[in-house]
Structures are given as C-alpha cells and as structure tokens.
Amino acid sequence: MATPFHNPSCHHCKDRFSSIFCKAEQCNLDQIAEAKVCSVYRKGQVIFHEGAYPFGVYCVNDGKIKLSHSGDDGREQIIRLVKAGDIMGYKALLSNERYTATATALEDSSICFIPKDLFLNILQKDASLSFEMMRILSSELRKAELKITHLAQKPVRERLAETLLFIKETYGLEEDGHTLSVRLSREEIANLVGTATESAIRLLSEFKKDGMIELEGKKIRLLDMGEIIRTANLQE
Amino acid sequence: MATPFHNPSCHHCKDRFSSIFCKAEQCNLDQIAEAKVCSVYRKGQVIFHEGAYPFGVYCVNDGKIKLSHSGDDGREQIIRLVKAGDIMGYKALLSNERYTATATALEDSSICFIPKDLFLNILQKDASLSFEMMRILSSELRKAELKITHLAQKPVRERLAETLLFIKETYGLEEDGHTLSVRLSREEIANLVGTATESAIRLLSEFKKDGMIELEGKKIRLLDMGEIIRTANLQE
DNA sequence: CCCTGTTCCTGACAAATATCATATTCTCCC
DNA sequence: GGGAGAATATGATATTTGTCAGGAACAGGG
C-alpha cells in the first residue's frame, strides 16, 4: 500500500500559491498542516476506488494522477488528469456519496490526505476557501460540459488533437519544449479521447506521418503546434 | 422581450423548500425577495445568451428551460434541463466568465433575476447557502461526468432510452402517469442524446414498434418502463 | 540472456451512425 | 379552409468507427 512519510509542510509547499489553499486563512492552514497525512504512491497504485466511501480529500503534493470511471462493459473513461497542487475526491465528499471515479497514479506521487471533518469544518468557517471551492467546481463543470458537446459532435480525429493539447495544458512539456511530460499508454489516450485503442493508435500514426507529432515509445513530441490546433478545430 | 410582473414572494414560493434558497438564512432571503426582479418569458424566448456577460443569477419560479451549447458547426447540444426551483447562470457568475450556454424557455416561464453583487455577497456571508451551492455544483459535475462516459461508450439506442428516463426524472409525467410532461421536438431530443435528428426519429419509431412507448405528435407516453430501463442498460 | 506476457501496430472486415433525398404530416397564419 | 413552411418520417447510401486477427516490438523477471 501507500507509504507514509514525513509530512511536507503546507507553508513551504511549492504549490501553496496556486492550489485552492492559497485562499485559506492562515489559522486554517495551520490546522490542515497539522492533521494531514502524506503518502507516496507508486506508479499504477490506486489512491481511491470508485464505489468506496470518502473519508477525506486528497491534495497532490507531487506527481500525476488519472481519475477514471469504469464504464458498464469495463472500459475505462478518463475524466480528469490531476497534477501537483490540485485536490481530488471533493465531489464525493461534498455530495456525501461514494466515489464515482477511481484515482490511479500515473507516476510515483506524493499525496496529502485531509480528513473529512476537518475539511468540511474549515469550509464552513472560511468563506474565501469555500468560494475558491465553488470556483474550482464551476470551472470543472464548464470543462465537462464542453467535453460533452465535443464528444457528441466532433470526429475522433479532432478530439485526439484536442486531447494532445489538453495534456500539454495540464502537464506541460519537457525541457526540449516539445515532448509531453507524461507517459500514457495508447489505451489511456484512447480512454481520454473516448474511442477504441486501435483508432487512437491509427490516428497517432497518421499525425506522425503528417509531421504533426513524433512518436518514440510512450514519448509524444508535438512538432507542429499550429497544425495540431487547426486539426483540433477549436472555435470556442 | 421578457415581461416583468408583480414579483412572487420568495416566502410563499412553492419551491422554497426544495430550491437552494431553502438553506439560506431568513434575513438573506428577505434581501433577495426585495432585490429580485421577475419576468415572464414566452416559449422559445432566450433568457441569456452564450457569450454574454452575466449580471446575476436566475431562479425559475415556474416553467421549463433548456440550457444548450452551440457547437462549432452550429449544431446545438443540450446540457441541462431546468425546472421550477432550479437556479441557472451560476457557473458563469462564480467563475466570472461569460455564459457558456444559452438558456431558452421550452414553455412560458416565470423567472426571477437576482443581481450579481447581492448573490455573491450573500454567498460570502451565508455558509449554509454556499455549502448548498457546492452540493449542487458537485451533483451537476457528477452527472456531467457520467454523461461523458455514456457518450463515449454507449450506443445511441441505449442513450435515447436513458434520455427518456432522464426527461421523466426531471419533469415528471402528466396525470395519466405515462405522458412526459414536456413537449420537445425530435431535434431537441436528438440534441439531448447527442445524435442526428434522423437517428433519434428512427429509434423512437423502433421503440414505438416494440411497444415501449407511444407517440402522438410531440407527446411521448412511456408504456413499458421495465423495458425502457432495460434498454437504457444502466448499471451504476 | 532468453522467455513470456503485454503493448503496439496494421490490415481486413463489420457494425453503427450520419448524410442525403424525398415523402408525408403537421402548424400556423391569412 | 387553404397554402407555405416547418417538422416528422423513411429509404438509400456513404462514412466513420469499432472489432477481430495476427504479427512485431518491448518490458520485466528468472
């Protein structure tokens, strides 16, 4: 299972200015810093499971995580990519229901756990934290609705290009300025796009043939951003 | 344009126990009751437009409204059906961006408008109201993510059956216990399902032939709920 | 190092769905 | 009531996408 380790301090967390907690009042931050438990999860490890009851909220200190639904026939649909500074598991907590998604580490990650009672308690007291929470929820909802529209209306080719851009937005590029700084299997890419693995593979090959990208194992280099954006056919 | 009329009182609103405002403190409710402006919108009228800036939040006193994105190629995707007691326009307000959806009345509706400053102000002060707001956002997000999974993984036939169930859940049935109490065009149904209008029409005909539903103009009667549920193939 | 299981890739084919064309029916307005 | 325009219905066809099959490349463990 996950390995606990010396808690990194919230006050020195490298994401303390970008995460939701940058809005929290100092005294509340102190409480969180004291109560939280941090653990290291290895690549592939599950942080929480769809169907389980939530006991708190997770704040990613470092690493990359995917959140996915397991569809009826067992196929996975990735609904969110989580990065350092992001929190996860709040939806289930707020609506007091079970997790609707499974969180799996895409690489070794260190993740802090904040107990339910404390988090909800602080949320009640700290208006600016709860406002920030609403902002996050609104923005996720907006993205989800856009994704619904695109799934319903855009062909796989456009959605794949869009997904590449989305991965870049989320996790950024490596030092070379081209390579996506996350390693995803073709199946994971397909599950992000919402298509069959073979279709994703085929289209990636096409993109490569067209000079838009370069493939080397799980490395994906975005060569022609202009053409990728054009292929994604975004208007909004 | 919309016709203003004598404001219905929040304190006697038939939805005061089910809407988000049932959680608000009394004094805040008073403020809202005083500041709000209510208007009647005729069927087909637009309440707010995608791309416009929000000046407040809308609370539906009576009627039925659709919220839709206009896709790149002009095809509409319906992302939410709104009923009496629901609020709308909060996403744009909270994230301080423009509307991402257009709200159109599906039938004559009376809708209250609550100015932005007041709403945000009260949200800051009233912890239980803002908690309720988070609950609503979480639940919408959950629904949106489920829809993403289904769009990506389920065939149109199943999604259509699911959509019929969804319409029933949202707007309920008429007195006969079978007829959906909303009149939607075939195109609107298709835009809810995320498919071509012709496909929706064809499948509705099939459902009818199979005895699951009965069609009479825009009236849809759900005859065999068991079979509809089975066709929707819901597991979650 | 080799073996084994997994992932990746490509081709052939099948199924699902969209598109186009054309009736038919409905609706609303004069 | 009659006519114009829209909505609905249905068939034929094209396109997109998924599925299946088989081989190549790769990764990890003994």
DSSP assignment string, A115-153: EHHHHHHHHHH-HHHHHHHHHHHHHHHHHHHHHHHHHHH
Q: Closest chain B residue to A131 measured between Cα atoms?
A: B124
Tell me the chain A residues in contact with residue B51 when contact means C-beta distances shorter than 8 Å: none
Nearest to B219 by CA among B191, B195, B189: B189
Any idea which of B66-75, B152-161, B182-191 has the lowest mean pLDDT?
B66-75
Distance A215 CA to C4 C1' (A): 26
Identify all chain B residues contacting A77, using CB atoms and an 8 Å cutoff.
Answer: 148-149, 152-153
The verdict on a CB contact (< 8 Å) between B235 and A133 is: no
Question: What's the pLDDT band for B10 if we cut at 50, 70, 90?
Answer: confident
- pLDDT number for residue A37: 94
Q: What is the pLDDT of chain B when averaged over all its residues?
A: 93
Number of H helices and E strands in chain A, helices first, is 8, 11
Looking at residue A220, its pLDDT comes to: 97
Q: Please tell me which residue of chain A has the smallest CA distance to B91.
A: A138
Distances (CA, A) of A206 to A178, A211, A234, B45: 18, 9, 20, 45
DSSP letters of A196-208?
-HHHHHHHHHHHH
Burial class, B91, CB count within 10 angstroms (exposed 0-12 / middle 13-18 / buried 19+): buried
**Nearest CB to B133 within list A134, A140, A154:** A134
State whether residue A159 is helix, strand or coil.
Answer: helix
**Strand D, nucleotides covered by protein (CB < 7 Å):** 7-12, 16-21, 26-27
Cβ of B124 near strand D (distance < 7 A): no
Model pLDDT, residue B151: 97
* Digitized pLDDT (tens) for each residue of chain A, 236 residues in all: 566 666 777 778 888 888 888 888 888 888 998 899 999 999 999 999 999 999 999 999 999 999 999 977 779 999 999 999 999 999 999 999 999 999 999 999 999 999 999 999 999 999 999 999 999 999 999 999 999 999 999 999 999 999 999 999 999 999 999 999 999 999 999 999 999 999 999 999 999 999 999 999 999 999 999 999 999 999 75
- The predicted pLDDT at position A14 comes to 83
- From residue A25, give the alpha-carbon distance in Å to each of A11, A21, A31, A122, A130: 12, 8, 10, 9, 11
Min CA distance, B111 vs chain A (Å)? 22
* Whether B218 CB is under 7 Å from strand D: yes
**Chain B: closest CA distance from residue A26 (Å):** 18
Q: What is the side-by-side strand order in the sheet with B76-83?
A: B46-48, B102-105, B64-70, B76-83
Provide the pLDDT confidence category of residue B22 given band limits of 50, 70 and 90: confident
Task: Give yes or no for CB of A155 within 7 Å of strand D.
Answer: yes
Look up residue B201 and give its amino acid. I
A162 CA: distance to closest CA in chain B (Å): 14
Residues of B in contact with A81 (CB under 8 A): none
Distance of C1' in C20 from CA in B40, Å:
41
With CB atoms and an 8 Å threshold, state whether A134 touches B137: yes
Which of the four pLDDT bands, split at 50, 70 and 90, describes residue B74? confident
Is A121's Cβ below 8 Å from some Cβ in B?
no
Say whether residue B152 is in contact with chain A using an 8 A CB cutoff.
yes
- Closest residue by Cα to residue A37 from A2, A85, A84: A2
Residue B125 — very low, low, confident or very high, per pLDDT cuts 50/70/90? very high
**What percent of chain B is predicted at pLDDT more than 90?**
83
Distance in angstroms (rounded) separating the CA atoms of residues A198 and B117 = 51
CA pair distance B68, A148, nearest whole angstrom: 11
Range B132-159 average pLDDT: 97
Whether the beta carbon of B187 falls within 7 A of nucleic chain D: the reply is yes
Q: Is any Cβ of chain A less than 8 angstroms from the Cβ of B195? A: yes
Say how far apart CA A123 and CA A53 lie, in whole Å: 20
Does the pLDDT value for residue B8 go beyond 90?
A: no
Nearest to B14 by CA among B95, B119, B112: B112
pLDDT at A182: 97
* Whether B218 contacts chain A with CB within 8 A: no
> How far off is chain B from A182, nearest CA to CA, in Å?
23
Residue B2: pLDDT band with limits 50, 70, 90: low
Q: Are B51 and B113 in contact (CB under 8 A)?
A: no
Say which DSSP state B179 is in.
B
- pLDDT value at position B6? 65
Cβ-based neighbour number of residue B121 at 10 Å: 13
Across B63-69, average pLDDT? 97
Q: Which nucleotide is nearest to B75 (CA to C1')?
A: C18
For residue A233, list chain B residues with Cβ-Cβ distance below 8 A: 72
> How much is the pTM?
0.94
